[in-house]
Structure 1
Amino acid sequence: MKAILLALSSILFLTSCSTETVLPTPIPTPTPIPVEEAMYYPTIGSGIWETKSIQTLGWNQSAVQPLLDYLALKNSKSFIILVNGRIVMENYFNSHNATANWYWASAGKTLTSTVTGIAQQEGLLNINNKVSQYIGTGWTSETLAQENLITCKNLLSMNSGLDDSTDAVDPASLTYTADAGTRWAYHNVYVKLQDVVASASGQTWSSYFNTKLRDKIGMDGTWIQSGNNSVYWSTTRSMARFGLLALNKGKWNSDQIVNENYFNEATNTSQTINQSYGYLWWLNGKSSFHLPQSQLQFSGSIIPNGANDMFMALGKNDQKIYVIPSKKMVVIRMGDAADTSNLALSDFDNVLWQKINALYQ
């Protein structure tokens, strides 16, 4: 019996000596999830606008001066880059300054597009309705049947079928070339949309524009009649405010100024002829494009160096609003013509984007 107890004691002793202490498996520290920076909207009426430095973004500081040199060389007056609504670059050239007004030229077409969308969401008009429903018949020299084919959407999409050999918009100058919807041609007749909005709203165009768009996002500026066109003049920061509204698909803070569905339509291909044109917005990254005053179709993207998702407001003498959703970025350029060509589109765009790309590539 004594031998048995000794044997059991030996087994227990050996067992206790060989048992290892098992420590709990440590719980790994989770990798912090980056907090996405909130979109910033400058306060209305205060003049305050938050900034963000090149260094904070991790961009290439050495690429800044070549970009500024190019802008100065190319007759620029102002240049702004916004990222997430904050000013990253703001520069003025050739005696221009932050309080000076400059004209938007055809870049202002996008203001007309946006306000047309606002009028539609208020139930004042429908872009699929014929133009003559709002401003009466006889606004062109076409037959009644031909004129009645032209809808507000045709004016937004630049496929009214009206003769584009002149910028005049009096009835005698608006003559038939093709049925509406069958021919794309860049034409000043879009300005009739301002008459449509005025008639539908019972207000002047300027009054409706100021109340429904300009004042709601804190823009300054005014419409000035220039020949056959109504041209918008403002400070560069006001153009940047509109670009920020466009980046956010018609939204300003919590206020949806223009319906997002309409804005998506406006910044996507609006017809089958020119893939690179929406509702008075130019579109980058498409398979082909047409240029003003031309019926030729060109293959590829309008601005090869620009992002494929970029959409643009482009005006004579190189007035520019570039909106790049993938980078949450807006770029503004105002000034005189960069080159001898006065077209809204020129080689200036592609070289400029080569230099902008160098900031962050």
Structure 2
Amino acid sequence: MMLRRYFYTLALALGLLACQQQPQQTATAQQQQTASKVYFPGKGDNWEHKQPEQLGLDAAKLQEAVEWAKTQETTQMKKDFSTQEEIFGTPLGPLPADRAFTNGLILKNGYIVAEWGDTKAADPTYSAAKSFLSTILGLTIDKDMIQSITDPVAKYVHDGGYDSAHNNKITWEQHARQTSEWEGESWGKNSNFIGHEAFGKGERKPRELQEPGTFYEYNDVRINRLALSLLRLWEKPLPQVLKQEIMDPIGASDTWQWVPYRNSTVSINGQQMPSVSGGTRWGGGLWISARDEARFGYLFLRNGRWDGKQLVSEEWVKQATTRRGPVGPDYGYLWWLNTEGKFWPDAPTTSYAALGAGQNTIWVDPAHDLVIVWRWHDGNQNEFIKRVLAAVKE
């Protein structure tokens, strides 16, 4: 009798334990199932469209937003780039003969819910390229090629660019935050932007150089110096790094190219390699389609993960899109932020963007699972974002 009671008590206890564990197991299974439902487009044109209503959007309001966007062609950048030299100064690299009209697409949960214009045109994206360069910096840190983003660049790069007492202090982070105050010349352009012929309307007045990290200045010469420093570490062209590590894995097309200046070639290990720029201010730069930019934005929306593979660390995505220190505007590591709600007052403060002249825009909104790419428009991003968000049903 005692033995029978023992086995009965044991069976009852095991049964209760199983009941307690089952919800946890079910929850885990549900989490895995939910994760597996995250959509990632296939390579190239293998990208699924969905009707807005299928994803909780008001189709009429979304179409109204798109129709408004179509009317906002940029007046900043001529279609034939004929005002390029007047605006930015003497070019160092080539430009296409023409560009597309305003175009873009909207992703919701990774699906295309709206698309207009020639989204396959591989046009210069100007300073939106800086966010791609930032990602290469993130990869460099992820792979332990740089121990810490707060390390001085001079610890790793020994080509004379950081030999002075001033430049010797500059860190990778200061480059990425545009607070480096690097002093020198890069590909024939001085870091002070002095000289009308060299800089056009972008020429600046002389000022006293500040301590690295204490003063913000949007400065392509210094970002180009960052690109060269990264090239020194990777010892292979940065477009090749971007292609292998990011663009091929996310299924980008073969039409994008990162065009160097005519005079930006350096010798590395006895081989001649081009150093690319962080924009198209002086020609060259990242020439890419809106569709490929949308893939890049979606990679960041998914915290650096693409279809089960972590391409750039989640930690880097978080750092790059977080406000860093009191100096300068709402800016991460070469990404524009909305932490203070100043750039896009009607958008979530967690949204952020890669931005370039001609108002090339890759806007990422984690709160609503949205990515918007909008190119060659007049710059009123908030007005468009407000109209798109009005289509999101709560």
Distance 1:172 1:227 in 2: 11
Distance 1:227 1:308, change over 3 A: closer
Distance 1:229 1:160, change over 3 A: farther
For residue 291 of structure 2, what is the amino acid of its counterpart? R
Who is 2:191 aligned against? 174
Contact preservation (8 Å) 2:350, 2:367: yes
Who is 1:304 aligned against? 345
* Alignment of 1:232 onto 2:286: yes
Distance 1:171 1:152 in 2: 23
Distance 1:147 1:162, change over 3 A: closer
Who is 1:156 aligned against? 176
Who is 1:80 aligned against? 105
Contact preservation (8 Å) 2:104, 2:119: no
Q: Residue 271 of structure 1 is aligned with which of 325, 329, 333?
A: 325
Cα deviation, residue 174, structure 1: 2.6
Q: Residue 106 of structure 1 is aligned with which of 105, 127, 139?
A: 127
Who is 1:124 aligned against? 145
Distance 1:248 1:285 in 2: 19
* Alignment of 1:326 onto 2:367: yes
Q: Residue 209 of structure 1 is aligned with which of 223, 229, 242?
A: 242
Partner-residue secondary structure (3-state), 1:321: strand
Who is 1:291 aligned against? none
Distance 2:50 2:181 in 1: 47
RMSD over equivalenced CA pairs, Å: 2.6
Cα deviation, residue 333, structure 1: 0.6
Distance 1:329 1:98 in 2: 17
Q: Residue 246 of structure 1 is aligned with which of 295, 300, 303?
A: 300
Distance 1:269 1:212, change over 3 A: same
Distance 1:90 1:266 in 2: 28
Q: TM-score, normalised by structure 2?
A: 0.69
Who is 1:91 aligned against? 116
Distance 2:156 2:309 in 1: 28
Distance 1:138 1:230, change over 3 A: farther
Distance 1:77 1:119, change over 3 A: same
Cα deviation, residue 275, structure 1: 5.4
* Alignment of 1:183 onto 2:208: no
For residue 213 of structure 1, what is the amino acid of its counterpart? I
Structure number, greater radius of gyration:
1
Who is 2:50 aligned against? 52
Contact preservation (8 Å) 1:81, 1:89: yes
Contact preservation (8 Å) 1:105, 1:315: yes
Contact preservation (8 Å) 2:70, 2:103: no
Partner-residue secondary structure (3-state), 2:248: helix
Distance 1:227 1:105, change over 3 A: closer
Contact preservation (8 Å) 1:135, 1:195: no
Contact preservation (8 Å) 2:105, 2:119: no
Contact preservation (8 Å) 1:116, 1:193: no
Distance 1:207 1:57, change over 3 A: closer
Q: Deviations over 1:205-238 (max 9, x none)?
A: 2222221222121223110235656511122110
Cα deviation, residue 199, structure 1: 1.1
Who is 2:42 aligned against? 43
Q: Deviations over 1:84-135 (max 9, x none)?
A: 111111111xxxx243212211111110001111122112224322223444
Distance 1:349 1:150 in 2: 33
Cα deviation, residue 43, structure 1: 1.4
Which structure has more relative contact order (CA 8 Å, sep 6+)? It is: 2
